[in-house]
Amino acid sequence: MGLDISALLNPKARSLFGLDISSSAVKMVELTANGKDGYRVERYTIEVLPKDAVSDGNIANLDGVVDCVRRAWKRMGTSTRNVAMALPGSAVITKKIIVPAGLRDEELEAQVETEANQYIPFAIDEVNLDYQVIGPAPAVPDELEVLIAASKKERVEDRVAVADAAGLKASVVDVESFAALAAFELIERQLPESGKNQVVALIDAGANVMNLTVLRNGQQVYAREQAFGGGMLTQDISRHYGMSYEDAEAAKRAGNLPEGYEIELLNPFMENLALEVSRALQFFFTSTQYNQVDHIVLAGGCAVIPGIDEVVATRTQVNTLIANPFANMVLSDRVRAKSLLADASSLMVACGLALRRCLIHHDSHQPPSSSRRGEKGSARAVLCTVRACICARCVDRVCGLHPYWWCDQ
């Protein structure tokens, strides 16, 4: 079954916006290209999800999530209905393999399927499977490096079902970690010497999970996930003030909490977060040859807490900054700069997804790659790689795991 990706490579192709469904909120960002390498923020919004509507990356309350997406789309005020969505990394299996060079397309596809059976713990007909030829294998000119990627059909279809029910069209399904790293490239440019030869720790602290990704010269050298997030603070607020979880979350976001909140709850939480960051870095140091990091970049919902960067810097003795991928972007009249600055760190995935449209625009002069799709799955959610839309160095930015998209056929 073939796939025509010409529309994706056309700068006049249909527009889309980034839709991030996290465990606590629905986040939407719409960007457009602005000049050769610039971007413009057209609009964005954040809508809080009902408690446990998304659990461990799974859509547990479809109606609740759909209603939230509808409200967010209406509030954002866009006419665009095509969206780029993302799966959590836990839902995706990726593996680089080496194959002989010179294989015909059908031979390469058969080789990929054979290799995939060794690494995918599911029946091959239960997954969406794709592959991307990255290039010649290091130091072995007669072999090729190929990335294979797979996810159970139901994980893709759950995301697509949310979009469908909300009246939207899931044109792209990416991976959260890849989307966040796409946004991180914009932050890396803000570091001294654009972060060259520097070790950067990206801390993404969401509602329930804190992810540490360590990068050097754009390459991931370490990753760790641990259970810690802003949901713990929300639960503390709920218990302390006798609120429902939803009311506690709303009050936390709005800052409408009684006097004494900072001393009794917020400050201890910030200290605990800084301690968890310090512990995560210690795991990194003991697991690798590295013994220091040059910068910490804080992202996720926890990073919006005023002063959290100073608390983390004091605890770790490392220069710490708050992630803002929009820092050098032009803002439309619909976007309030102060609000976006406050929310920026929690919009990394949504921003990275929205960048897909702009990357297509900027790279539209490049010819399509010669890669082929080895898709095993439904016609509604076709796993396809669009290598021409991402510059070659981005392959290295995720340790050789090339960003791939599920594109609606």
What DSSP line would sit under 344-375, residue for residue?
A: GGGGHHHHHHHHHHHHHHHTTTSPPPS-----
pLDDT of residue 126: 87
pLDDT > 60? residue 76: yes
In this structure, which long-range contacts are made by residues 236-241, counting pairs with CB atoms below 8 Å and at least 24 apart in sequence?
236/265, 236/269, 237/261, 237/265, 240/264, 240/265
Residue 5: pLDDT over 60: no
pLDDT higher than 50, residue 355:
yes
Residues 295 and 378 in one domain: no
- Give the pLDDT of residue 16: 92
Distance, in Å, from the CA atom of 72 to the CA atom of 243, rounded to the nearest integer, reads 24
Verify that 167 and 38 share a domain, yes or no.
Answer: yes
Q: H/E element holding 315?
A: helix 308-316
Percent of the chain whose predicted confidence (pLDDT) is above 70: 84
How open is the CA angle 393-395-401, to the nearest 5 degrees? 165
Is it the case that residue 151 has pLDDT exceeding 70? yes
pLDDT beyond 50 at 2:
no
Q: Which helix (H) or strand (E) holds 341?
A: helix 337-343
Query: At 402, which CATH number?
Result: 3.30.420.40
Same domain, residue pair 164 and 201: no
Per residue in 229-278, pLDDT (tens digit) is 999 999 999 999 999 998 999 899 888 899 999 999 999 999 999 999 99
Res. 378 pLDDT band, cuts 50 70 90: very low
Under 8 Å between Cβ of 280 and 318: no
- Alpha-carbon span 376 to 374, nearest angstrom: 7
- pLDDT at residue 346 in the model: 95
pLDDT of residue 360: 52
Tell which wins on pLDDT, 212 or 359.
Answer: 212
Q: When comparing pLDDT for 227 and 7, which is higher?
A: 227
Residue 376 phi, psi (nearest 5): -125, 95
Tens digits of residue pLDDT in 287-309: 999 999 999 999 999 999 999 99
Say yes or no: 318 and 390 in one domain. no
Q: Which two tokens stand for residue 99?
A: 């194959």
The Cα–Cα gap between 95 and 258 comes to 50
- pTM recorded for the entire structure: 0.82
Residue at which a domain ends, from 323, 342, 374: 323
If you average pLDDT over every residue of the chain, what do you get?
Answer: 83
Q: Are residues 28 and 62 in the same domain?
A: yes
* Each residue's pLDDT tens digit, 78-113: 999 999 999 988 888 888 889 999 899 999 999 888
Instruction: Note whether 215 and 302 are same-domain residues.
Output: yes
Higher pLDDT, 354 or 383: 354
The more confident residue out of 137 and 290 is: 290
Is residue 62 domain-shared with residue 19, that is, in the same domain?
Answer: yes
Query: Average pLDDT of 348-365?
Result: 74
Query: What's the pLDDT at 56?
Result: 83
Q: In this model, does residue 71 exceed pLDDT 80?
A: yes
Question: Which domain range does residue 75 map to?
Answer: 1-95+150-190+324-409
With a cut of 60, say whether residue 389 has pLDDT above it.
no
Question: CA-CA distance, 235 to 242, in Å (whole number)?
Answer: 10
Q: What is the predicted pLDDT for the residue at 383?
A: 39
* Amino acid 118: pLDDT: 86
For strands 82-87 and 169-175, give the pairing. Answer: parallel
Residue 359 pLDDT: 59
In the prediction, which pLDDT does 372 show?
A: 36
Backbone φ and ψ of 360, nearest 5°: -60, -45
- pLDDT value, residue 3: 31
Please name the residue that has the structure tokens 């080496």: 98
Asked if residue 405 and residue 344 are part of one domain, the reply reads yes
> Is the same domain home to 216 and 290?
yes
Separation CA 65–CA 178 (nearest Å): 23
Same domain, 26 and 42: yes
What b/e string do you get for 222-245 counting C-beta neighbours within 10 Å, with b at 16 or more? Answer: beeeeebbbbbbbebbbeeeebeb
pLDDT at 379: 26
Give the model confidence (pLDDT) of 170-191 as tens digits: 998 888 888 998 999 999 999 9
Could you give the percent of the chain with pLDDT greater than 90? 56
Residues 16 and 164 in one domain: yes
Facing residues of 174 across strands?
86
